Chains A and B, each alone.
Chain A
Amino acid sequence: MSRYKTRMETPSQSRRSGAVEKRRGLISVVRAYFYNHRKNAAESFHRMRGEPLQSVMTMLVVAIALALPSMLYVGVSSLQQLSGSWDSSAQMTLFLKKGAKDKAIEGLIKELESNDELAEIHYISPSEALDALQGSAGFGEALTHLDDNPLPPVLLVVPTAAIEADVPRVEQLVKTLTQQPLVEEVQLDMKWLQRMQQILDIGRQITVLLGGALSLGVLLVVGNTIRLAIENRREEILVVKLVGGTNGFVRRPFLYTGLWYGMFGGLIAWLGVMVAQFWLGATVTRLAALYQSDFALKNIGLDGMLLIIVLGGILGLVGAALAVGRHIAQLEP
């Protein structure tokens, strides 16, 4: 075995190279640090591929937990978009008495134009309204069978911006307008809008609540998977600690595993939301078309993908950190 002697370094040689190492300084330390991180990231990934069933199941659980609030969020923000498309939330519809004379209506319009609480007045005559309705889906046929036009003349009225936000003043305005002899009924679109806003608020709260609860679920699932992984690699951890591995070094691969679970879970969740959108989207658009709306589900898009992956990654990392922090410090050779 003596022929192997020559190439082994002696301690004095290593001491010399130790001094050189110091001179090489920070850059090489940082480089070695990043090399170690890259290696850990890759190894954690390969290790997951080595146990595909376990890994995929964990990722799927993470994905489901992330996909549910994401879908809810998409739904709520789609509806939000819809309610936002009302240019003016305080628009009022004044249904006038049927058979009101054109002259009288003109007089009313003049009077309303002088009212400085109103910003816009738009008149829709019964025949215009009928034309519009005939263009609408499903009604055209039926309307041709009517002897005379059943529709009342309508005034669309928008209050000034100053009043719009002031609910009591809008209500006062509604009262005044109702008292006009020519006005049959005043409908405040805002009422409906307020109701929808409240429903959307509830939807948003449910999203946050569900998101919070399921995020906690992700933490626990990833944490538990990592805890099992630590148990499985007990021997290895002990050996690594015996040859001088710090707790940080031992922790790193597990943190990367958590990160991967979270990020891949996020990716699968995004795919799931996309599929659901694609599947539901066509139906929703068809339904909206029946109501003359161009409403469509908001696309979760690339921003959504990034967000959901980053969020998943953070949750996976935190879940792993919780498990690792508790178990690795306890494992001492």
Chain B
Amino acid sequence: MIEFENVSKRYPDGHEALSQVSFVLDAGEMAFLTGHSGAGKSTLLKLIMLMERPSGGQLRVNGKNLNRLHKSQIPYYRRRVGVVFQNHQLLFDRTVFDNVALPLQVSGAQHRDIERRVRAALDKVGLLSKEKLNPVQLSGGEQQRIGIARAVVHTPRILLADEPTGNLDPELSAEIMTLFEDFRNVGVCVLVATHDVALISSMGERVLTLDHGRLSEAGALVTL
């Protein structure tokens, strides 16, 4: 599903954020991406989102070489990827429902379809009763779950999460991780960037560790 082959990213200022990164993540597979801050976690996710382009190597998603994807095709590509942001990136000028509906609206889904899918996604994260509220009225954990609902409402094949449990207590974090596992279990390819080592070790999933832009795979850190 996601294939990195000797991917490097050098920013215009000369800083090399990723060097010679190679790994494969299949459908129905979940992995944690970890490493010290500045190790290149965000850059790696940005490459998959096509917010940045690699400066070397091959990056294939769903068998398609992203290097050859034209700029005008990027929006259509992004519609098959779901992203959960650390700072949730919710829009406070509209209701919870409209926030979650956004990925469906941009792809021109039918009104009836939108209602059904948004309710299903909100139900999944346990916030169906709050659909008419403004996200401002929700707690940090609830906002994060709205962000997850938005990331999965269009049933993407790939789900990326950047520090999704950043400001949450351990109990909420575990709940959110369970959600991610649910998606993995139905065939979604899930990649979660986090530095929450305690959480990673409790999950027993695959771990990709970045160190100064270089990738080393430690396997499951069950023992830690």
Question: A residues touching B (Cβ–Cβ < 8 Å)?
Answer: 1, 4-5, 7-14, 28-29, 31-33, 35-36, 39, 235-236, 238-247, 249, 332-333
Contact = CB atoms under 8 A, between A and B. Distances in A.
Nearest to A30: B108
Given A5-B124, A243-B78, A244-B106, 9 more contacts: A8-B121, A8-B124, A8-B182, A12-B187, A31-B110, A243-B103, A243-B150, A246-B76, A247-B75
A131 B187 CA distance: 104
A255 B157 CA distance: 33
Nearest to B151: A243
Interface in B120-140: 120-121, 123-126
23 contacts: A5-B124, A5-B182, A7-B123, A8-B120, A8-B124, A9-B117, A9-B155, A11-B155, A11-B188, A13-B155, A32-B109, A242-B78, A242-B83, A242-B89, A243-B78, A243-B83, A243-B106, A243-B150, A244-B76, A245-B75, A246-B106, A332-B51, A333-B49
Contacts of B152: 8
Contacts of A35: 110-111
Contacts of B67: none
Contacts of B49: 242, 333
Given A9-B120, A10-B155, A333-B51, A244 B75 contact: yes
Contacts of A7: 120, 123-124
B102 A29 contact: no
B91 interface: yes
B75 A36 contact: no
B108 A29 contact: yes
A10 B75 contact: no
Given A1-B175, A4-B125, A7-B124, A244 B110 contact: no
Residue among A1, A7, A239, A243 with the most chain B CB within 10 A? A243
B142 to A, nearest CB: 13
B105 interface: yes
A244 B79 CA distance: 5
Contacts of A32: 108-110
A57 B105 CA distance: 31
B75 A246 contact: yes
B179 A1 contact: yes
Interface string B83-94: 100000101010
Contact of A33 (B77, B108, B126, B178): B108
Given A1-B179, A7-B124, A236-B91, A243 B109 contact: no
B24 interface: no
Contacts of B111: 35
A214 B126 CA distance: 56
A259 B189 CA distance: 43
A244 B107 contact: yes
B168 interface: no
Nearest to A39: B105
B78 A235 contact: no
Contacts of B51: 242, 332-333
A4 B123 CA distance: 6
A59 to B, nearest CB: 22
Nearest to B187: A11
A10 B78 contact: no
B186 interface: yes
The 10 closest A-B pairs by CB, nearest first: A244-B79, A245-B106, A244-B78, A14-B155, A10-B186, A243-B103, A32-B108, A246-B75, A8-B124, A244-B75
A10 B159 CA distance: 13
A239 B102 contact: yes
Nearest to B89: A239
Nearest to B157: A11
Nearest to A28: B110
Contacts of A4: 123-126
Interface string B141-161: 000000000101001110000
B155 A241 contact: no
B107 to A, nearest CB: 6
A14 to B, nearest CB: 4
A36 B108 contact: yes
B155 A240 contact: no
A236 B179 contact: no
Contacts of A235: 89, 91
A36 B105 contact: yes
A9 B153 CA distance: 9
Nearest to A241: B75
B54 to A, nearest CB: 16
B188 A243 contact: no
Nearest to B178: A1
Nearest to B122: A4
Contacts of B124: 4-5, 7-8
